[in-house]
A and B are shown apart, each in its own frame.
Chain A
Amino acid sequence: QSVLTQPPSVSGASGQRVTISCTGSSSNIGAGYDVHWYQQIPGTAPKLLIFGNTNRPSGVPDRFSGSKSGTSASLAITGLQAEDEADYYCQSYDSSLSGAVFGGGTQLTVL
């Protein structure tokens, strides 16, 4: 059971928009700790997609965006492409655990 809760899977048609939620609690996201997002294509290492809730590292397309409100955060992907098929993980810090925590991951399927 992950500290941060994500839907196990989401899907969307090519060109459409999807969102992936990440729900935490008052000891992590709700306490004001930043949320970060990673993309993991099967068989490869995770890649940083969003850091500090809303910031994209250089090279990440602006089709990817992050937001945070209260005890939750979301990753939005617009203009879905086949290459976006991957697992997506959210990550934050938890004060009660005194360490970084991940969501369980969400598998994105592009129809």
Chain B
Amino acid sequence: QVQLVESGGGLVKPGGSLRLSCAASGFSFSDFYMSWIRQAPAKGLEWVSYISSSGSTIYYADSVKGRFTISRDNAKNSLSLQMDSLRAEDTAVYYCAKGYKYGSNWGQGTLVTVSS
């Protein structure tokens, strides 16, 4: 069965950096687009970024463009999100999801808190 496990969340000061990881198993990781989707506390969902199976096609929401970098390692079945110049409004649970048109499977999420 598909399993997605995020890690790397935590408390960081405004302007700081954090790197999230997602370990995938139970499917052929290298065949699928992957995405990061976030949810601010008591708020709705926001699609942050996605990456194609080969890594050649990447999308970022305007809210994170120029600050976040998505990447993947197909040999390690791993997805990453490098988050720089973090702002208070980036505080959210970050989910790793399989797919890019819709999220067919989601991880349990990892909480990122940006606060001084």
A, B from the same assembly: yes
A-B contact count (CB 8 A): 50
Asked, given contacts A45-B107, A48-B103, A91-B102, whether A100 binds B44 with beta carbons under 8 Å apart, the answer is: no
In the complex, chain A residues 82-101 whose Cβ is within 8 Å of any chain B Cβ: 89, 91, 93, 97-101
A105 contacts the other chain (CB 8 A): yes
**CA of A38 to CA of B62, assembled, Å:** 23
B46 contacts the other chain (CB 8 A): yes
Number of B positions contacting A (CB below 8 A):
18
Q: What interface size band does chain A fall in?
A: 20 to 34
- In the bound complex, do residue A103 and residue B47 qualify as a contact, i.e. CB atoms below 8 Å apart? no
**CA of A100 to CA of B103, assembled, Å:** 11
> What's the dominant secondary structure at chain A's contact region?
strand
In the complex, chain B residues 47-71 whose Cβ is within 8 Å of any chain A Cβ: 47, 59, 61-62
B interface list, Cβ under 8 A from A: 44-47, 59, 61-62, 95, 100-109
Known: A51-B102, A89-B44. 5 other contacts (CB 8 A): A48-B106, A91-B45, A99-B59, A101-B47, A102-B46
A interface list, Cβ under 8 A from B: 2, 34, 36, 38, 44-48, 51, 57, 89, 91, 93, 97-105
13 A-B pairs, CB-CB below 8 angstroms? A38-B45, A45-B108, A46-B103, A46-B106, A48-B102, A48-B103, A51-B102, A89-B45, A91-B45, A99-B61, A101-B47, A102-B47, A104-B44
